[in-house]
Every structure is written in C-alpha cells, then in structure tokens.
Amino acid sequence: MSYDGIAQTVSDRYARAAATGEQICCPTGYNFDDLRTFIPDEVLKISYGCGTPAGLETVRIGETVLDIGSGGGIDCFEASRRVGPTGRVIGIDMTDTMLDIARRHAPVVAANLGYETSNVEFRKGMAESMPVEDDSADLIISNCVINLAPDKRKVFHEMNRVLRPGGRFTISDIVSDQPVPQYFVHDTEKWGNCLSGALRVSDYVGGMVEAGFLGIHQVKFTQWQVIDGIHFLSITLTGYKLPEAMEHNNGLFATLLGPFSRATDESGQSYRRGIPQPVPARTAHLLSALPYQSLFLVSETPVILEPSDPRWLAILPEQKPCVWKGDYALFTGPFTEVEDDDDHLYQRGIPLEICSKTLKVLETDAYRPHFAMINRATAEISGTQVACSPSGGCC
C-alpha cells in the first residue's frame, strides 16, 4: 500500500468511528469519573488511545504541550488543565471529523476549567510534517497514533525538530515482539485496528535514537492481544532531547549501583557496577534524570562502590533447578544492553527466553520497571526441572 493509501484508509476509519461513536482499539486506564467533571461525553466516547498520558504527570504550569494525533481531544484537554491558563496545548490531527469535534468542545472545556479563553489549539496536519515551529514544545505526547503513521522515521525526526532542547516526550503506542508479517501489512482493515503498522520494540526505539533522542525507557506496558503468535503490547515510552550546549565539565563521574552488573548507554558508553566512569556534562545531566537517577551515583570525585556498601544492588538467582515455561524478557531501556548477575545479556527490544529462576529475579522491584514480560507458550507446559551448575548458570 502507498503512503497516501495508508493515510487515507486510516483517516476514513477514524472519521467513521468518530461519526458513529464506535468503540475501537485498546484499554487505556483513564479515570473517566474525574475527566467527566470537565470534558464532555462526546469527547470521552471517542477516546481511541492505548495508554494514559502518563507524561502529563510531569507537566508544569505554563508549559507548551504538543499532542500528535489528538483525535477528539481527550489528552489535549487534560493537558490544558495541567498547564493552567498560562500554558499552551497544540493538537495535530489529519482527520477533519476528529478536528471538528475537538474544536467544538474546546471553549466548553475552557469554561469548565474557569479559563477566560481556551489554551488549546487544534491544527490540521500530518505527523510526518507537523505544522509546528522548530524547538517550540516542552513535552510531546501521543496516544496510539504513530503505529498508524506510514512513515514513522519521518514522525520521529519531526518530533525531534519541534521539541525544544531539554524537552521530553511520553508516547503510548502499540508495538510487537517480532516483525509484523506482510499479510498483516497489506490488510487494509488491520491498519485501522493498530496491527499492520506496529513496529517491534527494537525498531521503534531504534528509530527514536536515530532521530536524536536519548534515555528512552518504558513508563509502563500492558499485554494487548496475541494474533498468529505475534504479541501486541501497549507501551508508554519516555525520552529526552538533551540541551545542545552544556558547560564543559570533565570532572564528573558516574558509578552504576545496580541491579545490572553492566550496562551500555545509547552513546556506547559502558558502565560496570561499582566502578566510577568519567562522563561529560551532557551525560551527567541525563544520568541525573528519571529513571537513571536511582541507578547511578553521579559525583565530582570518583566513588568506588564495594559489594558491602548498602547502595550496591545485586539480585542473585536462587541456587536451585529451574523450569522453562515459555517466558521471554523484553528489555525496554534506558540502556541499549545490560547484563544481570547470572550472565544473561539483554538487548533492548529483543525478547530473550528465560527460565523460572530468572523470571523471579526480573520480577523484583529493581528489575521490573525495565522489562516487558511475554509468554509464548501456547499449550500447557510439562517442563522438567533443569539442574544448574554451582555457579548458577543454567540458562
């Protein structure tokens, strides 16, 4: 299918859905009782996202928020509430029916919030060529849209163009655990249903890094559906566009605390737990942001950490046999690859088969935020126990 053909198919699908109020797509997890206090039902009824705009929790009064694929406007209106009357919200969508509904309700929402005029503007445009000025948004949000865009590489580059240096994005989207096959890609109906255009996590995150973003990591994920053995997940990712120029400072050090024994960041820098690593000011800035800040000690003098130090974090597997049950660990960042204390190497976005013993390790509080877990077993498993060597490594 051509670029224009896909865009038209998707636009027709959502125009039809908005006109009829049809329910499509995925679980979101909004608090609708709260939203109903200021957003009209006609907007809430056509909420077609696949996450909640978790990034909005970080929004500060007065900021500018850009919503890519704003639909009926649900996330823009929530952003409007959070940035306050001095802030600004811009929603971009390609579908006229969606824009009409969103624009019609903007003054109603403003009145409900007690604002003199609406601080939300809905602009018609494509995610691949957004009608938005360079370096103008503090935060980009998007809810279940980029999977529908025929040219995701362009979307990621556009995001980088319009985000101000020092800005951030939080995107919820549908992704897959493996490449979506051609019989999905060329199925018109499946485009509108957020299946044909789903990228696997490694390609999605890779596209964002290629566009210039750093520190990309999962905020949350939920299983959505399994079709023909392909796992479709709803994932919310955050990442940063770092400030361009930073005062040059060679005197900073970063010591990895754990739980990983080794980690490599997006610029190729490797860190070993407990060993201080000299880092440039830009990296130190990034490592002081979420979620790195709990993983590193950033200091002006090198700090070596011993295993006896209470800040040293290592989670060892149980020294007992394990069982293979079809579990796969999908590492989601914020590094490109990490190692655990049982010598597993996890590459971002690439599922790794793990046994019951490793699953237990990755389900601990320290590891859980960095992984999406999937189970590919389709039938009951009568797995026999596998003995581990004294050093622990059976898988």
Ligand X SMILES: C[S@@+](CC[C@H](N)C(=O)[O-])C[C@H]1O[C@@H](n2cnc3c(N)ncnc32)[C@H](O)[C@@H]1O
Residues contributing to the site for ligand X (CB under 6 A): 7, 10-11, 14, 25, 47-49, 69-72, 74-75, 93-95, 98, 126-128, 143-145, 148-149
Q: Please, which residues have CB within 8 angstroms of residue 340's CB and are 6 or more apart in sequence? A: 259, 260, 261, 315, 346, 358, 361, 362, 367
Nearer to ligand X, 45 or 325 (CB): 45
CB of 146 to ligand X, least distance (A): 8
Nearer to ligand X, 93 or 327 (CB): 93
**Cis (ω within 30 of 0) for the bond into 276?**
no
* Residue where the block lists tokens 């859980």: 368
Instruction: Give me 145's structure tokens.
Output: 């849209």
Q: Please, which residues have CB within 8 angstroms of residue 250's CB and are 6 or more apart in sequence? A: 278, 280
For the chain, counts of helices (H) and of strands (E): 11, 18
Instruction: Give me 129's structure tokens.
Output: 């060529």
CB of 199 to ligand X, least distance (A): 14
CB of 140 to ligand X, least distance (A): 12
Nearer to ligand X, 22 or 353 (CB): 22
Whether 141 contacts 55, CB under 8 Å: yes
* Residue where the block lists tokens 């400030």: 243
CB of 75 to ligand X, least distance (A): 6
Nearer to ligand X, 15 or 373 (CB): 15
CB of 198 to ligand X, least distance (A): 12
d(CA 361, CA 126): 43
Q: Please, which residues have CB within 8 angstroms of residue 233's CB and are 6 or more apart in sequence? A: 174, 175, 176, 177, 201, 221, 222, 223, 224, 372, 374
Nearer to ligand X, 35 or 254 (CB): 35
Provide the sign of the torsion angle of the four alpha carbons 342, 347, 352, 356, taken in this order. Answer: positive
Max CA pair span of the chain = 70
Instruction: Give me 40's structure tokens.
Output: 């009209």
Minimal CB distance residue for ligand X: 71
Nearer to ligand X, 93 or 266 (CB): 93
Whether 241 contacts 156, CB under 8 Å: no
CB of 96 to ligand X, least distance (A): 9
CB of 24 to ligand X, least distance (A): 7
Nearer to ligand X, 48 or 271 (CB): 48
